[in-house]
Amino acid sequence: MRFFLIFQGKDQIRAVYGEEAANGIMKAIHNEIVFAPGDIELAKEYSKRLGDTTVRVHNQSLNKQKHAIGAQGQTDSYSEQPRPLLLPQEVNELPFDKQLIFVQGNRQTEPMKILARKIIYFEEEVFKARQKMTPPPLPVGDATKIDALTVPVRTIEAKVAVADAKPMQAEQRQRWNPKEKAANAVPDQPDAAQPVEVEPDPEPVQADDTSEPM
């Protein structure tokens, strides 16, 4: 499945989906066709994506002698310096018939950056001929066959009774208050002294004198 996303600028995508989601959508795009954006910040982004090239710069210096009349010397030098392939202002000033194409690389092809000519269909003979072609008839579906494509959903009845969770939820809503518990607690009282019954000592038993006198 392939999608063709057409929008005026990336700000429209960010306004709808947000910054992170919009960046994720843009990263998933494999081929990107860019016209003159008209936004300098967006033009800077495309200029960085195009990368740099190497240009040969000509430097010229002119030396004049202070006391010699008409004596002068000229020095020419050349140096190679990096330059953006397209400057941001050049990206913004792309002609109407020019476009940039960014192609991400994969296993079969390498990444490509293309400055291409925009095809205008009414100026091309091939597309003008296709414009006159009669479109093929579209098949019309039979409304009576739609019911054959639907499958009734099987309902599943619960075979195990489930206890009502409302009492449990009401009990969980009660919060334990340590201060309230400490106020309602009854302080422990020491045991009152109870009378102790003490049994009296047993009386001495007198022995009977049953012996006869001598």
Q: What angle, rounded to 10 degrees, do the helices at 19-27 and 10-17 form? A: 130
Helix (H, G, I), strand (E, B) or coil at 129: helix
Helix (H, G, I), strand (E, B) or coil at 123: helix
Helix (H, G, I), strand (E, B) or coil at 48: helix
pLDDT tens across the length of the chain (214 residues) = 788 888 888 888 889 999 999 989 988 888 999 999 988 999 999 999 999 999 888 888 877 665 555 556 778 888 888 999 999 999 999 999 999 999 988 888 899 999 999 988 888 888 888 888 888 887 776 666 766 667 676 766 666 665 555 555 556 556 555 556 555 555 555 555 555 565 666 565 555 555 555 4
Helix (H, G, I), strand (E, B) or coil at 27: helix
Helix (H, G, I), strand (E, B) or coil at 168: helix
Contact criterion met (CB below 8 Å) for 82 and 53: yes
Cβ-proximal residues to 17 (8 Å cutoff; 6+ apart), any chain: 25
pLDDT of the residue at 72 = 62
pTM for this prediction? 0.53
